[in-house]
Structure 1
């Protein structure tokens, strides 16, 4: 039996979303302690132990953290042991970011060396910048140099995460070409040996790219050659997706101060609704007008969390079908105004054809849809 820790003792206790290495610190330590398999240079765990950390091991008390093809994890880990970067591509909400975080935590024990790609991302935020007060006072020096995630990862021998790389301008993306190919970074402002940074063992880059953003800033052929591409697919199985949504929603609700667990019957309705609107087909085989908004598992978790919060803080009970309708509007109206009409047609035309009192309650609550 372990002693209960206070908020001051547990660094993750008051953090909204602790990184993987804090959230599962006990599991990582347990795996490190019992890990007798050979480790790639610079790694905190062997490939076998890192795999167990991600897909779980009941005998060791290690929870399953990623729902997907185990062979994907094998390929990703082997890629990180090579001198090629790993690029995770897939639809929004397929847990690409979570997988990159888990991989970084397993390999390096640190998942916080992260670059968030976007239109405003600059090369300074990727490679290095300067403390301009020191730069003016002393000139270029290691004291005035401010390392960004790539330089920090190279010096530590750690994995760096580059989220949504295709949202960055092309010239910003290509700033890591020499790093990925030669494992070296030139710092021309510094003279002598300090002007060249070499990557230590264990360094690599995990990037993610959203298939819906493909073409926004298409990667150059040179950069593509320096990555191994792995596609992360949506969860195909209903029971697996339901279990994931239930467990993740329960965790989020507990951290939000909600003392009531989410109702499984309500979650079954929610997950079914998401899967049908995502696929454009009902469980009866009827065709639907597919939503253009992202109806991913991650969005389902977010809605389940909102449903539980709404039910608990407004009425002191778990969320119900009326809360699903109230919370779905914010998901459906993000990308296309017509999606709200598609959702309304689904509630009015398809839901009444389903059996069960929960579907009847969902249909009765359809007038609560915003807009």
Structure 2
């Protein structure tokens, strides 16, 4: 396989994106590290939460003590379960932890209705299996299998999307820290090396999820990743992420901070079910996460760059909101229209930016 030109990759892995920072941390790391870890726990924390003196950027925004607890969990025998609403950066935190600790975020199992036990344990190359019978050459190792062999972290994304009987395959793996391969004969098994552990993510509210068994829950320490509540903090995060995306694509859309403030206010109020003045709102079925706010602003910036004059306008923002706020719920349509007809209209009487935003949204959704 030829080397990939990372400048043309849509999304490179964290170990590629932050290679220089990882090298800097390794060079400065003098703290003790658990066996099998690429960095010490202190250096892992610096990689994720940033270190200005070393020129290491902050990558996860939110609950700093949660990051510390996650690092401590991964040093022990329990797996780490990150739970929360969609778009709260559970997968991002999982990727960053795997990158810093194991130097490899690619050992990932994606949970889905079609996930089978073979995806978790191992499968077979059936051409070799028929030609030679069961052998190590014919065995196709899963990410879990390879993580055990190498003593690395394995990520299990959206574990609750798997059927319960598939989820429970993890119980023995987490307890025994080994995979038995009976096809290769008596006593054939793979024992996990030190450094192995599991980071799983689970959705609390989305459709198509299955409850975890009590036995499986006991094998994990649970940490809840919550939405960002600080307005100024979320504005900075959304703006920074969108500018990073635009810079990567070579685009120079002009984005006013006040416009981003409008977007974040709408998301926070609809997410919380209350306005900043204390007026109650009906919660939406749609996901009002920071990640979705980034998607809306990014779409608005692309529209401004390619179809406008390069300046993100309230109409661009309103256009981007449609795909997030109004999906398959008729009730959401009514709730959003009520919000713009009352809350946003009232603010528009005192603030021209809110008036432009509200007028644009109502004209598009009329």
With the length of structure 1 as denominator, give the TM-score of the two structures. Answer: 0.94
Asked if 2 retains the 8 angstrom alpha-carbon contact of 1:326 and 1:370, the reply is: no
Tell me if 1:345 matches 2:327.
no
Give the Cα–Cα distance (whole angstroms) in 2 for the partners of residues 153 and 316 of structure 1. 50
1:38–1:268 CA distance, 2 compared to 1 (3 A): same
Asked if 2 retains the 8 angstrom alpha-carbon contact of 1:162 and 1:206, the reply is: yes
Shift of 1:158: 0.9
Residue by residue over 1:48-104, the C-alpha shift from the partner in whole angstroms, topping out at 9 and shown as x without a partner, is: 000000010101101011112211111100110111100001111111111101111
Q: Match for 1:47 among 41, 47, 55? A: 41
Q: Secondary structure at the match of 2:284?
A: coil
Q: Match for 1:356 among 347, 351, 354? A: 351
Give the Cα–Cα distance (whole angstroms) in 1 for the partners of residues 226 and 206 of structure 2. 16
Asked if 2 retains the 8 angstrom alpha-carbon contact of 1:166 and 1:213, the reply is: no
Q: How do 1:20-169 residues align onto structure 2 when only pairs under 5 Å count? A: 20-169=14-163
Residue by residue over 1:305-330, the C-alpha shift from the partner in whole angstroms, topping out at 9 and shown as x without a partner, is: 11101111101413211011111111
Residue by residue over 1:282-336, the C-alpha shift from the partner in whole angstroms, topping out at 9 and shown as x without a partner, is: 1222122221211111110111111101111101413211011111111112341
Q: How do 1:210-225 residues align onto structure 2 when only pairs under 5 Å count? A: 210-213=203-206, 216-225=209-218
Q: Secondary structure at the match of 1:228?
A: strand
The equivalent of 2:325 in structure 1 is: 332
TM-align CA RMSD: 1.7
Tell me if 1:191 matches 2:191.
no
Residue by residue over 1:89-125, the C-alpha shift from the partner in whole angstroms, topping out at 9 and shown as x without a partner, is: 1111111111101111110011111111111111111
Q: Secondary structure at the match of 1:89?
A: strand
1:332–1:157 CA distance, 2 compared to 1 (3 A): same
Aligned length: 363
Give the Cα–Cα distance (whole angstroms) in 2 for the partners of residues 332 and 43 of structure 1. 42
The equivalent of 1:232 in structure 2 is: 225
Q: Secondary structure at the match of 1:310?
A: helix
Give the Cα–Cα distance (whole angstroms) in 1 for the partners of residues 183 and 75 of structure 2. 32
The equivalent of 2:361 in structure 1 is: 366
Q: Secondary structure at the match of 2:86?
A: coil
Asked if 2 retains the 8 angstrom alpha-carbon contact of 1:322 and 1:368, the reply is: no
1:341–1:173 CA distance, 2 compared to 1 (3 A): same
Shift of 1:254: 2.3
Asked if 2 retains the 8 angstrom alpha-carbon contact of 1:260 and 1:318, the reply is: yes
The equivalent of 2:299 in structure 1 is: 306
Give the Cα–Cα distance (whole angstroms) in 2 for the partners of residues 11 and 61 of structure 1. 25
Structure 1 residues not aligned, in runs of 5+: 1-7
Stretch of structure 1 that moved more, 108-117 or 277-286? 277-286
Q: Secondary structure at the match of 2:179?
A: strand
The equivalent of 2:266 in structure 1 is: 273
Give the Cα–Cα distance (whole angstroms) in 2 for the partners of residues 64 and 254 of structure 1. 18
1:214–1:83 CA distance, 2 compared to 1 (3 A): farther
Q: Secondary structure at the match of 2:205?
A: helix
Shift of 1:256: 3.4
The equivalent of 2:11 in structure 1 is: 17
The equivalent of 1:3 in structure 2 is: none
Give the Cα–Cα distance (whole angstroms) in 2 for the partners of residues 323 and 272 of structure 1. 16
Give the Cα–Cα distance (whole angstroms) in 2 for the partners of residues 102 and 22 of structure 1. 12
Asked if 1 retains the 8 angstrom alpha-carbon contact of 2:253 and 2:304, the reply is: no
